[in-house]
């Protein structure tokens, strides 16, 4: 069994088997156009720092023996290859924008690897859009065709994937019905909110004091449907997480510069970063 070392609050090293680990991997940390952006020669898009190369936002969660993905970006195949993904027990969707759903077709490879239908969890409007965009899913399979085998499941309240408890919590993101997810496992709590402009008080109350918070931070300037840096930092102060990570960054934000400006406990996420909870 693969083992991972970590340091507890007393500075003592413990060795955990993989069935004791709660961690997540940032598959992508960029906004809808990704970084570098097509046709752009700015300092960030031409940077040689690999942390400034950002695929569209998605995350891979591991909790004990359970593995699942939140959002499948258009870069999902490349992300899965880069991070060595071999198991996907479920897919969760925050909303139905193209940069969060268009990789769903690549789930079919995990159907083959696992010989299993994979559940897909989403709110009603997102589920309807998934069925429209991927209307071929569920049709009778003709010889030679290879389609994702998924079970669309409507999220109407808290649910579980394996032994991870999950709550879909609403946020404002333009005019779209969008959620973030609160993940709970063995008393540990993680908030994942990649697309957010405003957070309702009930959602804020639910995530206050989480061990880890992942939050949208598009750029320095304000934006009508995303948090900017100053807004994200103010919201994170109200949440009071043990650790926080900024994602969904555009090419206005240079990794090293932004990280140098952040208060303790807040970091800039980058593609491939693994965070152990």
Report the C-alpha gap between 4 and 17 in whole angstroms: 7
Q: Which of 168, 165, 137 is nearest to 151 (CA)?
A: 137
Residue 102 · residue 78 · CB < 8 Å: no
Query: Angle at CA 21, nearest 5°, toward 180 and 192?
Result: 10
pLDDT(7) > 70: no
Q: How confident is the model at residue 128 (pLDDT cuts 50, 70, 90)?
A: very high
Average pLDDT for 23-49: 98
List the domain boundaries for the chain: 3-135+146-276
pLDDT (0 to 100) of residue 177: 79
Residue 104 pLDDT greater than 70, yes or no: yes
For residue 13 the two structure tokens come to 């090293």
CATH class of domain segment(s) 3-135+146-276: alpha beta
Global confidence as pTM: 0.92
- Whose tokens are 């209307």? That residue is 135
211-269 pLDDT, tens digit per residue, is: 999 999 999 999 999 999 999 999 999 999 999 999 999 999 999 999 999 999 999 99
pLDDT tens per residue across span 40-88: 999 999 999 999 999 999 999 999 999 999 999 999 999 999 999 999 9
Task: Record the tokens describing residue 226, joined without a space.
Answer: 């995303």
């Amino acid at each position: 069994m693969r083992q991972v070392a970590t340091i507890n609050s007393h500075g003592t090293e413990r060795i955990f088997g993989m069935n004791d680990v709660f961690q997540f991997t940032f598959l992508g940390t960029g906004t809808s156009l990704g970084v570098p952006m097509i046709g752009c020669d700015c300092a960030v898009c031409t940077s040689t720092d690999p942390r400034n190369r950002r695929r569209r936002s998605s995350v891979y969660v591991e909790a004990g023996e359970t593995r699942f993905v939140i959002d499948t970006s258009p870069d999902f195949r490349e992300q899965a290859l880069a991070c060595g993904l071999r198991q996907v027990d479920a897919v969760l969707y925050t909303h139905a924008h193209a940069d969060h759903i268009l990789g769903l077709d690549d789930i079919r490879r995990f159907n083959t690897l696992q010989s299993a239908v994979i559940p897909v969890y989403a709110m009603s409007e997102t589920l309807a859009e998934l069925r429209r965009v991927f209307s071929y899913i569920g049709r009778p399979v003709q010889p030679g065709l290879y389609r994702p085998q998924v079970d669309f499941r409507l999220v109407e309240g808290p649910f579980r994937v394996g032994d991870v408890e999950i709550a879909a919590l609403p946020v404002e993101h333009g005019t779209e019905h969008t959620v973030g997810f609160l993940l709970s496992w063995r008393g540990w709590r993680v908030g994942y909110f990649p697309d957010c402009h405003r957070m309702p008080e009930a959602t804020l109350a639910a995530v206050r004091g989480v061990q880890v918070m992942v939050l949208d931070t598009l750029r320095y300037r304000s934006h009508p449907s995303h948090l900017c840096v100053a807004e994200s930092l103010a919201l994170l102060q109200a949440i009071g997480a043990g650790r926080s990570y900024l994602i969904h960054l555009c090419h206005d934000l240079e990794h090293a510069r932004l990280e140098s400006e952040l208060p303790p406990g807040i970091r800039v996420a980058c593609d491939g970063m693994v965070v152990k909870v």
